[in-house]
Every structure is written in C-alpha cells, then in structure tokens.
Amino acid sequence: MCSATGWFGAVAAEVGPGKTVAVVGDGAVGLLGVLAAKHLGAERIIAMSRHVPRQKLALEFGATDIVEERGDVGVARVKALTDGLGAHSVIEAVGTQESMMQAIRSTRPGGHVGYVGVSHDVELPGRELFFSHVHVHGGPAPVRRFLPELIDLIWNRVIDPGKVFDLALLLDEVAEGYRAMDERRAIKTLLWP
C-alpha cells in the first residue's frame, strides 16, 4: 500500500509542524510522502521531480518547491533553498545509491532521513554518515500501524491518495501497466477484473 509506505517515510523522517521536508523520488510512494508531509504539518515541502505530471500532483498534494536536479546538483539546490542548512526531514523513496546519498546529503545536521525505497545494492559510506550527524531510519512500512488512521482520513475525504492512479487497465493488461509505469507514462496503474 503506497499510502502507508509514503506515510511511514514521513514518520521515519520525523516530519512535523514547521519543518522543511525534501522528498527524493516522484513515484507513487514519493508523492504520497509529500501528501503525508503536508498532513503532518510541514511548513516547506521540496519535491524532487523531473516529470511535469508528477510535479503537478506534488504541488496539489502540498509541495511548495520543485527541484529537477539530481545528485550533487540536486543537493546544492536543496541547500540553496534552505539557507545552506539542508532539510530537517528527507524522505528517500527510490532505493538507489544516488538517491540515498542525495537524501543523506540534503539533510541538515541533526536531521532525519526516512528511507522507504527498496534498496538496490545501496552501500552507505560509514565515515561520511558518521560525520553528517544525520539520523537514518526506514525499511518496509508497518502497514497495520497506519491503516486505521489512513482509512479514517480517506473515508472522511481529508486526503485523496488515489490521485496517484492515473491509468486504469484490465487485469490481463498488467504487463502494459508495468511498462507504462517504467516508462513514466503513468504514476500508478489501477487494474480492473
């Protein structure tokens, strides 16, 4: 469940009122991390995205800034937007070496990274992490922990995470659904029987 994963990323990153949050990743989980950050009271939400439809949804979900750059250039943009400090909270929702390092380096000393992207051979450089003073917490979302609150928020129309489903296909078109998501033609595919 993308909603719970994005929510867990925000909670793991200790998003809260008045904080600046950066979200690395503009897939369904990252976008729902933006939604969670907004609901949890973040003052500024920086969505890192290169895709116009995803940028629009990020803004609709509560992003205040869009950063298209990646890697060290993306980190420099986040630092520039935060007076050189970095974000209080960063949600990592990709799972690559580059995205994890971008998340850690975009976080201010004493800040928190919530990583929910499934790690693909990510190795953390111990020395850099040691001197960064950044807290790192994440993993698979404990969905049951968040379901009661999320169901209530959705049922009462406080949040609408279903907006990430921008392509509906029949169940036997599942391969096309995955292809569309992989090629960035869709954020998330909804399959019908």
pLDDT score of 125: 92
pLDDT score of 1: 55
pLDDT score of 2: 63
pLDDT score of 167: 96
Contacts 24+ apart (CB under 8 A), 146-149: 146/3, 146/4, 146/7, 146/8, 146/11, 147/1, 147/4
Q: Domain spanning 2-143 has what CATH number? A: 3.40.50.720
Run means of pLDDT, 10 residues per run, the chain, 193 residues: 87 98 97 98 98 96 98 97 98 96 98 94 93 95 94 96 96 96 94 91
Report how far residue 39's alpha carbon sits from residue 122's, in angstroms, rounded to the nearest whole number: 30
pLDDT score of 75: 98
Q: Edge-to-edge strands of the sheet including 135-138? A: 65-67, 44-48, 20-24, 87-92, 107-115, 135-138
pLDDT score of 119: 87
